[in-house]
Structure 1
């Protein structure tokens, strides 16, 4: 059995990763809402350039600036919570970095016009990750200063997929080893200090399928080897579990009582038109087979020695209302 609950006391940076198609952006957004429902100010960040957060909340594409996307979430004693969002792109992050640490000001914008920014981030792909994680670090700082700068109780990062999350978060460690002195060395050390501290938790999103679960297991091992803190596994899009073990076994074997099903339908005024009963039995068999596969993968997840939380598959897909439902599930489950 997995640990019953994640110890998230003191965590202010929640990193959400997962294999493509598992719904990591959905989980990151729901987690941000769940944290805000405690009356907290939360920043939801994305770094992959997909504008997934904007689509999730049905707002205009996000700029390189913090924008409020949810409010009116009331916590204890009526304290209002809110969610701001930030789309981080490496080019804007580089210009901000140059202005902050090298006082380039207008010269930095001139470099952008000459294409130096694009050249730098293309020539050394690792530079992109350094800039992106550096901006996340700045957002998560407790003592942020500057005009119109907000301080947040928590930051949720919709991070790159599991296959490269350890490299993405650990790139500053490599940079610190190359730079012996100066602002680059100092910044890289600070970023890694945060990422490896108890203030950070890395959550992995999966579905109950063999490849995503295996990638989750590999990701946990890689993160631990890099000294990065694993938070929880979120099992997303779980099918309903309304049928008991005996019913599932009969459905899987194709031995459900068709006559009894037809009688039940007639009792509520539904007739077996157009092969309704055979169709329902076929669907039941497919569901039972799928449930057996999911149960086998759930056992694998339980053996990962990481707290696990499950979110249901929403029949109509994830709209804004469904996002709030998932947030409530995470809150009730104790992840937020």
Structure 2
């Protein structure tokens, strides 16, 4: 699909909250960062019919306290405030927020109960840690609640409806995502009425609406793929909106099916390989042996990935493939991933 084609075929019209989950080690934070850059670059060069161009603004939220976003964008540790971490060609902006449950609870207590200084006293006595430990569901309500507030926040400047055009959440891993997002069930035994209950209801209205999509980052390996399939099943059973599958570190297939099967089972033709290497004076036995082994390993890996890709295709969700970055993940690599997502219609 070309960039021009994808501009008219965006897969998530109306979605403003993109939740990214995935098994540990699949590059979930990298995928979330690339998606935020892709969304910030969406329509950055277009002009409004009635005035100057409006700069897309995207918020990237972290909820696990790992400071993964700061590392990804090579910035100092993020405080509990929204900070711009990147711009894209055309002027689009990516802002980031590392949500701290303790700070979110202080903000919540001041907002709903007007505790002010009293809330800080609770912090000194350890009451806040106690509350979020005994009732972990409250912690998830605070994290998702802060995110949903950013989604709903109205703009003050002319030409915008919302302060952020989109919000991307770097969410907990696949095994915990349904419980994390299904905040109503988590707090039902704690608060059936009152501000906490109302907050959970407001959060669920956003999370179960058409403006939310939960995307899965995965590798083409058996365990991540199985967790992705299980996670999608659990989300659908809970009535939460499934987004797309982001296959990270996808490798280009350079051999035909016949060549792959032969290389995986019988190895490569060593005579043919040696003859090709002789043209560049590299037909020495150790080199031939090493390249032959690499070809067999590559073929076996690609065949495994083809099987896993087929398993993913059965779950009725769009699949996007992000290229393997051999040189590592830096801003150049993130921009490459963002371009790939835009070209495939994910943003």
- TM-score greater than 0.5 by the shorter chain: yes
Distance (Å, rounded) in 2 between the aligned partners of 1:36 and 1:265: 46
**Structure 1 runs not aligned, ≥5 long:** 75-79
Residue 170 of structure 2: aligned partner: 158
Asked if 1:16 is matched to 2:43, the reply is no
Residues 4-13 or 119-128, more deviating: 4-13
Asked if 1:49 is matched to 2:52, the reply is no
Residue 256 of structure 2: aligned partner: 244
Deviation of 1:144 (Å):
6.3
Deviation of 1:130 (Å):
1.3
Residue 101 of structure 2: aligned partner: 90
Asked if 1:200 is matched to 2:212, the reply is yes
CA RMSD, 1 decimal: 1.8
Asked if structure 1 preserves the Cα contact closer than 8 Å seen for 2:137 and 2:187, the reply is: no
**Structure 2 runs not aligned, ≥5 long:** 1-5, 45-55, 157-161
Asked if 1:322 is matched to 2:342, the reply is no
Deviation of 1:163 (Å):
0.5
Residue 62 of structure 1: aligned partner: 78
Q: 1:66 to 1:270 in 2, by over 3 A?
A: farther
Residue 143 of structure 2: aligned partner: 132
Q: 1:177 to 1:12 in 2, by over 3 A?
A: farther
The CA deviation string for residues 66-111 of structure 1, in whole angstroms up to 9 with x for no partner, is: 010001431xxxxx21000000011011001011111111111121
Distance (Å, rounded) in 2 between the aligned partners of 1:179 and 1:49: 26
Distance (Å, rounded) in 2 between the aligned partners of 1:255 and 1:228: 47
Q: 1:302 to 1:141 in 2, by over 3 A?
A: same
Equivalence map 1:112-151=2 (5 Å): 112-143=123-154, 151=163
Superposed structure 1 runs of 4+ greater than 6 Å apart: none
Asked if structure 1 preserves the Cα contact closer than 8 Å seen for 2:220 and 2:305, the reply is: yes
Q: 1:6 to 1:21 in 2, by over 3 A?
A: farther
Asked if 1:25 is matched to 2:29, the reply is yes
Asked if structure 2 preserves the Cα contact closer than 8 Å seen for 1:138 and 1:144, the reply is: no
Asked if structure 2 preserves the Cα contact closer than 8 Å seen for 1:176 and 1:189, the reply is: no
TM-score after normalising by structure 2: 0.89
Distance (Å, rounded) in 2 between the aligned partners of 1:236 and 1:57: 18
Distance (Å, rounded) in 2 between the aligned partners of 1:44 and 1:120: 27
Residue 309 of structure 2: aligned partner: 298
Deviation of 1:178 (Å):
5.2
TM-score after normalising by structure 1: 0.92
Residue 223 of structure 1: aligned partner: 235
Residue 51 of structure 2: aligned partner: none
Deviation of 1:272 (Å):
2.5
Distance (Å, rounded) in 1 between the aligned partners of 2:308 and 2:86: 35
Deviation of 1:270 (Å):
3.5
